[in-house]
Amino acid sequence: MHPVPVWVDMTVYEAKPDLTVIDLYCSRRLREESELMHPGLPPFHLQVATPPDNLKIEIDGKFDVNWKKKRDDNQKPKGILNRLKQIFN
């Protein structure tokens, strides 16, 4: 058997109709596969990160799950390549 991470958190980073990007944050601690399940502590957690209040825009009680991606895109340097990508996307 191969050792596996103690835990893996999975967060939806970007969702499109034909594609979902999931961010995996893994523990560097490892354990044997036979020790994977502990009572009351699942090793895998799927999370949808909620935006902080200053970025939260709700429509009908729902927020845009792509808020992290949009925030990251807005923080990128505005070089010529990034401008071209925005034009053609």
Residues 3-50 have pLDDT tens digits of 878 778 888 888 899 999 988 888 888 887 777 666 666 666 666 677
Q: 53-76 burial by CB neighbour count: b if 16+ within 10 A, else e?
A: eeeeeeeeeeeebbbbbeeeeeee
Give pLDDT, residue 47.
66
Q: How many residues does the chain have?
A: 89
Same domain? For 2 and 42 the reply is yes
Query: Number of structural domains, the chain?
Result: 2
pLDDT value at residue 19:
92
Whether residues 1 and 35 share a domain: the answer is yes
Q: Can you read off the two tokens belonging to residue 66? A: 């792509």
Q: What are the beta bridge partners of residue 8?
A: 26, 44
User: Residue 39: which domain range?
Assistant: 1-49
pLDDT digits (tens, 9 = 90+) for 44-80: 666 667 777 777 778 888 888 888 888 888 776 667 7
* Spatial separation of the C-alpha atoms in residues 77 and 54, rounded to whole Å: 22
Please identify which residue in the block is written with the tokens 């209040």. Answer: 53
